[in-house]
Structure 1
Amino acid sequence: MTRKRQLRPDEMALWQEVARRTEPLGRRRKQTTMTPASAPKTANPPPEESLSLPRFRLGAAAQGDDSRHDVLPGIAERIASAPVAMDRKSFQRLKRGKLSPEAKLDLHGMTLDQAHGALVGFMLRAHGAGKRLVLVVTGKGKDRDGGGPIPVRHGVLRHNVPQWLRLPPLGPLVLQVTEAHIRHGGGGAYYVYLRRRR
């Protein structure tokens, strides 16, 4: 046996308002106000003002005024925010362009497949030769955004090389990746500091 719950006074007032505004479908039906038998009798229903809802405005509860729709920060911010794994003094000298790279790889004009193969081979050879600091030149890339609904980042190699350097087989060899100083290519090149051979 199911027990019926009693209506609260605000629910009863809402029901009475709905029933008052309802029009019958045909002539045969009588206009009746349905009240449940178990509902408490209220002498004075609440005024209509208490039943009205606040006016809805689209975006009224939105936080912030950030008009960018970019989920990830730029590659420069992501690399700069990475923790420093090498000696801090050497890292500061590296950032100021005081250390000179022992080898250089230029990936200009290569496709993703060609560049990935060239990068892996170059890094394995450099680590095998005991080099510590190498320069990988990717270029800044061309702006190919056609103005479509999905933004397209320019510089495909520039965005993929740091990721490739974190993944196997190169990840265990690499100690630090950072943007090169302006004299070595700036935002279009990376310093890659390799771990010592064991």
Structure 2
Amino acid sequence: MGGMGPPAGGRGECGVRRRRVLEQDEQALWTAIVRDIRPLARKAARPAAVDAVPPAAPLAPSPADPRDRVARPATMVPRADMPRLDRPAFTLVRPRAEIAIGERGPGLDDTSWRTLVSGKLRPLRTLDLHGQNAHAAFQRLHGFLVQARADNLRCVEVITGLGSGRDGGVLRRELPFWLGRPDLRPLILAVVHPHAANQGSVRILLRRAR
């Protein structure tokens, strides 16, 4: 065995490791072994952890531009101690209709009108409202006229008195509005004062019941 070299991995005389040279058949065998060997896929590198970015703070409102006061009016925030209004602060009131005293109404013939304004048409029933408050006076007036119409009376008289105010008392001022109500106006043909100097009473010509 003196002619053979050192075994694979052996060392020479000087202690230096020598590389063993493969024979031809050994080289062919090695090539066949490593033919189907593929290198292992390298693991994808994990991305470095990124610190969470805090949400951006809301921008502070810019100073109000005086030119924007009309286009962008400020919003009023009600205070807790302010009363809440569930309905409008005002109520629309329709104007009351009043009957015209001393004016001839439609459907009245000349003879009846002249007799009424001259005072020759005497009242068949009289209602005196002296000393009554407005509520009681209206209730009595309403019942008086409805009953007079039901009794087919032609002319009645209502006395309110002059009153102490510049424009007369409450009853005198309210009577034209009471007579102009939708439930009483259809009963009446005309209303006049019995005399120009007597503004504290009126004579009412009623429509005849059909």
Structure-2-length-normalised TM-score = 0.49
Per-residue deviation, residues 68-125 of structure 1 (Å, max 9, x unmatched)? xxxxxxx9xx523x34332222211211111110100001110000100000000011
2:196 is the counterpart of 1:175: no
Structure 2 residue ranges without an equivalent (≥5)? 1-97
Equivalent position SS for 2:208: coil
Instruction: Quote how far apart the aligned CAs of 1:168 are.
Output: 2.5
- Distance in 2 (CA, whole Å) between partners of 1:166 and 1:83 is 14
- Distance in 2 (CA, whole Å) between partners of 1:91 and 1:121 is 25
Task: List structure 1 runs of 4+ shifted beyond 4 angstroms.
Answer: none
Structure-1-length-normalised TM-score = 0.52
2:133 is the counterpart of 1:121: no
2:193 is the counterpart of 1:187: no
Partner of 2:88: none
Equivalent position SS for 2:111: helix
Q: How does 1:36-47 map to 2 (within 5 A)?
A: none
Instruction: Quote how far apart the aligned CAs of 1:195 are.
Output: 0.6
- Distance in 1 (CA, whole Å) between partners of 2:207 and 2:175 is 18
Instruction: Quote how far apart the aligned CAs of 1:176 are.
Output: 0.9
Aligned residues: 111
Q: Quick one: which of 83, 105, 117 aligns to 1:84?
A: 105
Equivalent position SS for 1:110: coil
- Bigger Rg, structure 1 or 2: 2
For 2:175, give the aligned amino acid: V
Q: For the Cα contact (< 8 Å) 2:101–2:190, is it kept in 1? A: no
Q: For the Cα contact (< 8 Å) 1:103–1:135, is it kept in 2? A: yes
Instruction: Quote how far apart the aligned CAs of 1:187 are.
Output: 1.0
More helix by share: 1
Equivalent position SS for 1:186: coil
Partner of 1:58: none
